């Protein structure tokens, strides 16, 4: 019984924190969840390479629920650019399917951890430097957005994040206001999460070394507890996102990503 209580408390705290950060930064919470779920699973005897894969899959599955709560709060403030969501969504679903049902199952856990660190570190640098887009920089046409969506969905499927680490900098670079970019990224988290979660179930089906209560690569205890807790705090984060100045919001985003990139770099090199 103490084991179960401790596990529930750990996952509940993780869910409360990631839900708030998902609403605040539009990152879906995956950037926070992957390192911590990896640590929780390895501490309970799951081999590190498998733990990393399950952390990525489980964090993505929770984003299905977190994104709904977060985007409702952003939508009520009129911040979501639904025209961008509609243009990016088809490519996102395609990219997510290619990643979660194909490449993800082939790559080693250590490679996925290094990839996670690389892209998170790059995104953090872009946001921290606060590079200003050219005054005439605008969103590309429909074909360009479809390609961007495919890339966002594919990379999100490999690292278990809601896509904010790419979509927010991309939209800001195209002169979409930061608060609109964060809100729109939260909305994009739903199709990213649904498509990838289904792929993780399919690609992990039939594996024999998974821990108890697993559905493919998804660890159901993490999904259930984190999802229930994160939906409580995501609206609070979304409310805070509209009260912070733009530069401070970018710096908070970048600093959190730097810390997580360093941790996953360590996990990838030591696995």
> Residue 205: what pLDDT?
85
Q: Say if residue 98's pLDDT is above 90.
A: no
Helices (H), 137-177: 142-159, 164-173
Q: If you average pLDDT over residues 228-253, what whole number do you get?
A: 76
pLDDT band at 25; cut points 50, 70, 90? low
Please, how many CA atoms are within 13 Å of residue 108, restricted to the half-sphere of its CB?
10
Which position has the higher pLDDT, 20 or 244? Answer: 20
Burial 212-249 (b: 16+ CB within 10 A, else e): eebbbbbbebbbbbbbebbbebbbbbbbbbeeeeeeeb
Question: Tens digits of per-residue pLDDT, 199-239?
Answer: 899 888 888 888 888 999 999 999 999 988 888 887 787 77
Question: Tens digits of per-residue pLDDT, 140-183?
Answer: 788 888 888 898 888 878 777 766 667 877 888 888 887 788 78
Average per-residue pLDDT in the chain? 81
Q: Say if residue 36's pLDDT is above 60.
A: yes
> Residue 1: what pLDDT?
40
Q: If you average pLDDT over residues 85-90, what whole number do you get?
A: 89
Q: Say if residue 245's pLDDT is above 60.
A: yes
Q: Which of 5, 61, 89, 80 is nearest to 194 (CA)?
A: 61
């Amino acid at each position: 019984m103490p084991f179960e209580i401790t596990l529930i408390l750990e996952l509940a705290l993780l869910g409360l924190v990631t839900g708030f950060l998902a609403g605040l930064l539009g990152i879906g919470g995956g950037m926070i969840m992957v390192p911590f779920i990896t640590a929780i699973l390895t501490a309970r005897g799951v081999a590190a390479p498998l733990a990393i894969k399950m952390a990525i899959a489980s964090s993505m599955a929770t984003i299905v629920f977190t994104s709904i709560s977060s985007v409702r709060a952003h939508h009520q403030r009129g911040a979501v650019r639904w025209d961008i969501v509609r243009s990016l969504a088809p490519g996102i679903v395609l990219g997510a399917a290619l990643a979660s049902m194909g490449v993800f199952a082939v790559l080693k856990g250590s490679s996925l951890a290094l990839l996670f660190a690389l892209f998170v570190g790059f995104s953090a640098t872009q946001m921290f430097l606060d590079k200003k887009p050219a005054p005439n920089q605008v969103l590309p046409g429909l074909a360009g957005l479809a390609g961007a969506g495919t890339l966002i969905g594919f990379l999100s499927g490999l690292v278990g994040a809601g896509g904010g680490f790419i979509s927010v900098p991309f939209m800001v670079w195209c002169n979409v206001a930061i608060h609109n970019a964060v809100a729109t990224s939260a909305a994009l988290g739903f199709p990213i999460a649904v498509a990838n979660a289904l792929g993780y179930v399919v690609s992990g089906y039939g594996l024999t070394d998974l821990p108890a209560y697993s559905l493919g690569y998804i660890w159901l205890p993490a999904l259930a507890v984190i999802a229930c807790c994160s939906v409580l705090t995501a609206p609070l984060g979304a409310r805070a996102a509209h009260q912070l100045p733009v530069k401070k919001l970018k710096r908070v985003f970048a600093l959190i990503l730097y810390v997580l990139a360093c941790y996953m770099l360590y996990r990838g090199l030591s696995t």
